[in-house]
Amino acid sequence: MLLSNPWPLTSSLSKFMSSIDELFTKLRSENRKALMPFITAGDPDLDFTASVLQELVARGASMCEVGIPYSDPIADGPVIQASYTRALNKGIKLNNILKTLSNEAPQLAAPLVTMISYAIIYRHGVEKYADALKQSGVAGMIVPDLPVEESPRLAKVCQTRDLSLIQLVSPLTPRDRALKIADTSSGFIYYVSVAGITGERTELPPELAERVSWLREQTPLPVCIGFGISKPEHVKLLAPVADGLIVGSAIVRRMADVETDGRETTLKQIGDYVESLLTALEQ
C-alpha cells in the first residue's frame, strides 16, 4: 500500500522550500518516485565527474549525490573507499570540487547534494561551507557522521540559506532517536537499508519495507532508501514503500572502468544501467 506524505513540509525546520522540497512535491503530484545516483567527485578527474552528472540527469535521474572524498570514509564499502583513495591520491581539493559543481548545477535539470563528512565541514568552516554550497547552486548536504545531538546548529545554518540537511536513519536506530533525527532534517531522510557498509547486495532485509513504512507515517519528510540497491528487482520491491531510491556502489564500480574502457563507453554503460533502474521504477 502506498503511503502519502503531507508535502509541502511542515516540520519546525522546514519553513522554507528548497529545490529538493520542490522536487518531491512535483514527483508526488505525478505519482512518481525519485532515483538518486551517487558518484565520487574527482574519480578519475573532475571533467569526468561533470560528464557523468550530465549523463545521469539526461537519462532521467531525479537528483545526484556527489561524494566528497575523505581519508576515513564513514560506512562506505570497498568500492567507494577505493574511489575516494584514487581521487585523494590525485590531489583532489574541496574548492576545486565546488567550482566544478558551480559550473554544472545551474545547467542540470536535477538538484545536486554533497555527501560529506562533518570533519571536512568543520575544518572548512560551517557557515563558509554552507555559503559555498549556496553560491554553487547545490541544494543540500548529506552528513553521515553528524550526531543528532550536534545537528541543530548545522540545521539552522542550512535553513537560513534554503539548503537541505539530509540525515541518516539505520535499522539499528531506536525509534525515538529516529524521530529526533527527522525533526532536525530537511529535504528528505536517508534510510540505510542494512546495518553495515555500502555495497551491492543480492538480497535486502525482508523487514526493510515495514520499517520504512513506519518512518513515513511519523514524518512529513520524504524517506529515501540507500545502501545495497543495485538491481531492477530491488527497485521494484522498494518503490512502493519509499519516496526515492539511492544507488551508489554499482555506479562507482562502473566509473572505475574508465581507464580501460574509455570515457564514452563508460558513460554509455553508466547511462544504460541507470536507465534500466528507471524503467523498473516506473513499472
Residues recognised as catalytic: 65, 76
What is the grid cell recorded at 121?
565541514
Which DSSP state fits 148?
A: G
Phi/psi class of residue 75: alpha, beta or left (left: φ > 0; alpha: ψ in -120 to 50)?
Answer: left
Encoded amino acid at 218, one letter: Q
- The string of DSSP codes covering 17-57 is --HHHHHHHHHHHTT--EEEEEEETTSS-HHHHHHHHHHHH
> Which residues in 21-167 belong to E strands, given as ranges?
34-40, 64-67, 112-115, 140-142, 164-166
Residue with the three cell numbers 570533519: 119
Of 124, 127, 120, which is closest to residue 73 (Cα–Cα)?
120
Of 165, 99, 91, 92, which is closest to residue 132 (Cα–Cα)?
99
Q: How many C-beta atoms surround the C-beta of residue 71 within 10 A? A: 11
